[in-house]
């Protein structure tokens, strides 16, 4: 049975509606349902909502919001069955696996007891769900990884990994955005750009989107990466 939601204060201008303490697609679905419900029926004073794996943060103007009424309202929304959501956006995202683009592929495949090609096939097979955006601008945490491919994070994080890296950390896989530190295992890289400050939209993927990975060669990666740098959209919207 699902845990009842809890409303937790986050300072004087935000609350968090918490649905549990697990990484689970069903729990994340409840978060997204509440986010949709608030978007469909806006509450005066609410400034922004931020969905995460297991909670929805609601930021509000404390001078324009009745906080007790807001808490009661969101709990009521969170405990009622939500309407069937619209079909999510689905993206086909090209990825060059292994080699210079994914230097940990051979090692993590061996850890899983698979050949690198079998590992790539298994990683590219699911339809993933973007469960949240966080850590760095546009960094997309994905749900749906084959449990066979999971591996604990690196003992020593790297100080800097390339932008748009595709990686695995524990039971999670992700599409990176900007270059930065990471303790995750690098298995590939996409030429798609999840975050571009002066693009509209700034963020390519959003929480609730679906991702399908399409393996490509290094030569294709170079060509598509050049096109993306010139402003082309190389992640294909397929639904």
* DSSP-derived secondary structure for 11-40: TTSEEEEE--SS--HHHHHHHHHHHHHHHH
Query: If 0-12 CB within 10 Å is exposed, 13-18 middle and 19+ buried, where does residue 124 land?
Result: middle
Alpha helices, DSSP H, located in the chain:
25-40, 67-78, 105-112, 116-124, 218-229
The Cα–Cα gap between 109 and 107 comes to 5
Out of 2.40.100.10, 2.60.40.10, 2.60.40.1180, 3.40.50.620, the CATH code matching 90-237 is 2.40.100.10
The residue whose two tokens read 């945490």 is 141
67-117 residue pLDDT tens: 999 999 999 999 876 656 778 999 999 999 999 999 999 999 999 999 999
pLDDT at position 202: 95
8 A C-beta contact, residue 238 and residue 210: no
The Cα–Cα gap between 185 and 114 comes to 16
Range(s) within the chain of domains with CATH label 2.40.100.10: 90-237
Query: If 0-12 CB within 10 Å is exposed, 13-18 middle and 19+ buried, where does residue 25 land?
Result: exposed
Which fold would CATH assign to domain 6-78?
A: Gyrase A; domain 2 (3.30.1360)
Range(s) within the chain of domains with CATH label 3.30.1360.40: 6-78
The structure's pTM equals 0.91
- Terminal-residue alpha carbon distance, the chain: 32
187-229 residue pLDDT tens: 999 999 999 999 999 999 999 999 999 999 999 999 999 999 9
């Amino acid at each position: 049975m699902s845990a009842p939601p809890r409303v937790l204060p986050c300072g004087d201008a935000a609350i968090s509606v918490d649905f549990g303490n697990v990484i689970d697609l069903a729990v994340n679905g409840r978060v997204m349902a509440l986010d949709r419900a608030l978007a469909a029926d806006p509450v005066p004073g609410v400034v922004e909502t931020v969905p995460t794996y297991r909670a929805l943060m609601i930021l509000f103007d404390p001078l324009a919001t009745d906080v007790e009424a807001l808490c009661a309202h969101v709990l009521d929304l969170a405990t009622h069955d939500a309407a069937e959501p619209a079909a999510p956006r689905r993206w086909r995202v090209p990825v060059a696996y292994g080699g210079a683009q994914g230097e940990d592929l051979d090692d993590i495949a061996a850890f899983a007891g698979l050949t690198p090609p079998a590992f790539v096939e298994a990683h590219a097979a699911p339809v993933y769900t973007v469960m949240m955006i966080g850590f760095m601008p546009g960094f997309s945490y994905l749900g749906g990884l084959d449990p066979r491919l999971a591996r604990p994070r690196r003992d020593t994080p790297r100080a800097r990994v390339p932008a748009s890296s595709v990686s695995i950390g524990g039971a999670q896989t992700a599409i990176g955005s900007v270059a930065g530190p990471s303790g995750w295992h690098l298995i590939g890289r996409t030429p798609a750009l999840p975050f571009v400050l002066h693009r509209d939209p700034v963020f390519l993927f959003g929480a609730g989107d679906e991702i399908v990975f399409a393996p490509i060669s290094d030569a294709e990666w170079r060509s598509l990466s050049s096109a993306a740098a010139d402003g082309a959209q190389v992640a294909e919207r397929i639904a």
